Amino acid sequence: MATKGMAPSSDGFALNWTNDKCPRGNHRVGWLAGPMHGIVVHKPGISKPCLKKLCGNATSCPGCAQTLETEWIGYVPVYREDAKQFVIIIHEQQAEMVDRIELHARVRWGRNEADGEGIWCRPETTGPKWHSAIPARMRPANLARWLLRLWKIPGIEEAVTRLFTFDAFAPSRVEPIPPAPHVPAVAPGLSENVADAMCQMELGVSLGEVFKRRGIAVTPEVPPPNGKHKRKAKP
């Protein structure tokens, strides 16, 4: 049955996130709500970002002033099975796994029993993908406003908004473009013809392509009007 009166606002979805610390030995199932939000923080305690890393070296940072160590962490927005909005905090060792998960894919996250274990998150092979009739929940979740409210640091709004501005969900790690085929140089003592023949065998390309790579102009042979080649006169 359709809602009567006022519909839920997108502001509520942007701010109503809960940090899931996930006790040891527990795990949950849900869906990935948006991209991982990576940030550098100071240790001990991971509740405040390094302001120099966030806003530039000209900014004063309390953590840097105390020469505290830094650590990368990722804030990962997820929807639990009951549709409640959670954020899990993962460390660098888990980043690659989470980076490969598609938007709204089914995921499982948890924490192992051993002391000092961080939260892990991995794809769940069974179950449906996320779907919502609310447009705001079908778009990639952006945690910028929630993080600003969590950190309560004045003057960083512009830097945080710029850092976490995105139009679509996409992996942050892009596969490199493969290099062009290597054309071997002419070895000492080899003629150009022999070297070109070696290039042809190694690359599997025509000699015309080899000449083109070397910058040698090739003039195609033009047959005579009758289509037959004239025989060379004997000396």
Beta strands, E only, the chain:
18-19, 27-32, 37-42, 70-80, 85-91, 106-111, 119-123
pLDDT mean over 34-43: 93
Instruction: Find all residues with CB under 8 Å of 133, minimum gap 6, and list them.
Output: none
Q: pLDDT tens-digit profile of 138-192? A: 999 999 999 999 999 999 999 999 999 875 433 333 333 344 444 444 444 444 4
Q: pLDDT tens-digit profile of 181-215? A: 444 444 444 444 544 444 444 444 444 554 565 55
Domain residue spans of the chain: 13-163, 176-221
The neighbouring-strand residues paired with 30 are 80, 107
| Pair of tokens at residue 45 | 């305690």
Q: Classify residue 174 as left (phi > 0), alpha (psi -120 to 50) or beta.
A: beta
Q: Contact 28/120 with Cβ under 8 angstroms?
A: no
Q: pLDDT tens-digit profile of 210-224? A: 456 555 554 555 555
